[in-house]
Chains A and B, each alone.
Chain A
């Protein structure tokens, strides 16, 4: 028997720049704060939820059970199970898909999807050579063997290794990869700065309207998204120096997402569970798909979602024009622009094995309350930020309204999903 998996709502912390107001907060602290806000909003204290799925991209080894530990610190019943999932920047959407699938299969009747990241509290690890030396010393059978192993430690081994955002197979950072895509697709500086300015303006307007009042709970004295610059403009953004793509590059700190801290959650359930608990239903999860590209072979690192969207839309018999609202995660302004161009490129889409291009959308339907450039992008949290935001927007448009989510992720991967208002 299959069920509808519906989004009831969400809660997140305000997002903030790395090293800012959440500098002292760990992933555990942030995720617990986001969960407790969700629990308070929907009266779930003491409730056993079917499952909580969460994750973080930058994770300490001691946090192997991060989500379960946050559940135990939260007001949920301690009998609520949890698991950790990770799919780079797609994590928060992948956890939503996991929970929705279990609900649709009748394995659980309620669930929470979540994601969190703290670039402030990122793990620092020892070098691989030191780690191997220490492991060897630990495994030594005699004191003499242990001393022999430890004697191999060299000063150069002691340099701590900060986590890197470089792709392991190419050695290029995500920004450097995107700079290649920006050039290949002929994305202009002006178009990128327009996307960035619009993101800030739309987010500022949504905050001013009170749109986020039932989606965000203040944390550590931060009342709203701290990266947001309501007064930014295309002119101000045009004055920034290039950050990626060399001195003549068009990608700047203004049209790229900032390293951020924050956590987000979404509450999903079967329609029956929502009705029993007298909770509102906003939208159902219709379908989802993941895809990957061969970026070590030269493909565009962040265009994985194009094939994912193409396959999912073909299966559903939909085109991108059928969507009332579209959320494309703004890893970089040029990612959004390249995705839109790729959707409308017959040859590119056929090259992905699709039957043809996906088409174009009305720009007024895109990221209507702003996206990651203005909100910030705590990697694993972004998907769980977008899901309740889009569900609320679709619900306001009326039953049957459809929304598309497209998220790029490291490793050349892409995650997409369709929500439909109920």
Chain B
């Protein structure tokens, strides 16, 4: 159903969260064009109820304590089928295949509980120039009774695509190697476990053959698992409302052991998932109390 326009964008109301199968298959067909085209509409789903059993499973797989208030990364997971829906659209020249999840930001404006009915919306913005291709942003929002409770920005790099303009300079906090304060052992089946709770069927996380086809020696864990696990490690230090930003620096092959470091700064918590020896960053995360 197509409806009114919001900020010049057509709004598509879906009756239910779209299924992943066909849309995912379409999103996996590589694009031949280097010119970036994106669907401009906003896809929304109203009245989404949260499945507590799946939430509990998600919490177990990511290391969260099961609470009434849900992790903000769980809200990202709920919006993910809309990402696939838009990237599987014929108008989208950016496809999941060949796109790399480079960074992610989200803001939890207030605690969201598992019994709240949610309104999810996602649209695409961009492309923005990048030295290795084009960046596109999936802008997600979760509302409860019209009130925005969560905002998310998922940034993909479409390598090979080109956009006019100068790439934006991003300043990153300098990384200093140090001994990890924790070690996580990621089992070989972690991709399968996270697939079950996230419903992200991308085979590079579960199949050695598929991983090899994309240039990885072994399956790699979903970036959003690593993000969730890092937030779970900070659970008792997370404010009620916060913004968190992650840069996915390097993929993590399964199985493997990685390290974790975190430090409190006046601006918030800085945390890194690092190689086992602490020498190189794999994921960099910031958490700041929301205004």
Contact = CB atoms under 8 A, between A and B. Distances in A.
Given A29-B66, A220-B68, A74 B52 contact: no
A218 B115 CA distance: 12
A73 B66 contact: no
A24 B53 contact: yes
A261 B235 CA distance: 24
B65 A221 contact: no
Given A74-B236, A75-B236, A221-B115, A24 B65 contact: no
Contact of B66 (A25, A72, A74, A218): A25
A219 interface: yes
A72 B57 CA distance: 21
Contact of B65 (A29, A78, A218): A29
B269 interface: no
A221 B236 contact: no
Contacts of B57: 24
A72 B236 contact: yes
Contacts of A28: 65
Contact of B114 (A32, A33, A76, A220): A220
A220 B236 contact: no
Interface in B22-76: 52-53, 56-57, 59, 65-68
A56 B248 CA distance: 40
A188 to B, nearest CB: 43
Interface in A54-95: 72-76, 78
B52 A221 contact: yes
Contacts of A73: 65, 235-236
B53 A32 contact: no
B67 A33 contact: yes
A4 to B, nearest CB: 31
Contacts, number: 36
B52 A218 contact: no
Contacts of A252: none
A182 B1 CA distance: 68
Contacts of B235: 73
A389 interface: no
Nearest to B67: A33
Q: How large is the interface on B (under 10, 10 to 19, 20 to 34, 35 or more residues)?
A: 10 to 19
User: A interface, by DSSP: helix, strand, loop or mixed?
Assistant: loop
A131 to B, nearest CB: 22
Q: Which of A33, A74, A220, A221 has the most CB of B within 10 A?
A: A220
Interface string A367-380: 00000000000000
Q: How large is the interface on A (under 10, 10 to 19, 20 to 34, 35 or more residues)?
A: 10 to 19
Interface string A4-29: 00000000000000000000111011
Nearest to A222: B68
Given A73-B235, A78-B236, A218 B56 contact: no
A313 to B, nearest CB: 42
Given A72-B236, A220-B52, A221-B114, A32 B65 contact: yes
Contacts of A76: 236
A73 B236 CA distance: 5
A36 B66 CA distance: 12
Contacts of A24: 52-53, 56-57, 66
A25 B67 CA distance: 9
Given A24-B53, A74-B236, A221-B52, A32 B68 contact: no
A50 B90 CA distance: 62
A163 to B, nearest CB: 21
Contacts of A219: 68
A25 B56 contact: yes
Nearest to A76: B236
Contacts of B236: 72-76, 78
A382 B115 CA distance: 28
Contacts of B65: 28-29, 32, 73
Contacts of A26: 66
A316 to B, nearest CB: 41
B9 to A, nearest CB: 35
A346 to B, nearest CB: 52
Interface in A25-58: 25-26, 28-29, 32-33, 36
Contacts of A72: 236
Q: Which of B57, B65, B114, B115 has the most CB of A within 10 A?
A: B65
A218 B53 contact: no
A29 B60 CA distance: 10
B228 to A, nearest CB: 15
A75 B53 CA distance: 25
A353 B57 CA distance: 54
A22 to B, nearest CB: 9
Contacts of B56: 24-25
Contacts of A218: 68
B181 to A, nearest CB: 13
B291 to A, nearest CB: 20
7 contacts: A24-B53, A24-B56, A29-B59, A29-B67, A73-B235, A75-B236, A78-B236
* Chain A to chain B: the 6 pairs with minimum beta-carbon distance, closest first: A24-B56, A29-B66, A73-B65, A32-B65, A221-B115, A25-B66
Interface of B: 52-53, 56-57, 59, 65-68, 114-115, 235-236
Given A29-B65, A29-B67, A220-B66, 6 more contacts: A25-B66, A26-B66, A36-B67, A73-B236, A78-B236, A220-B114
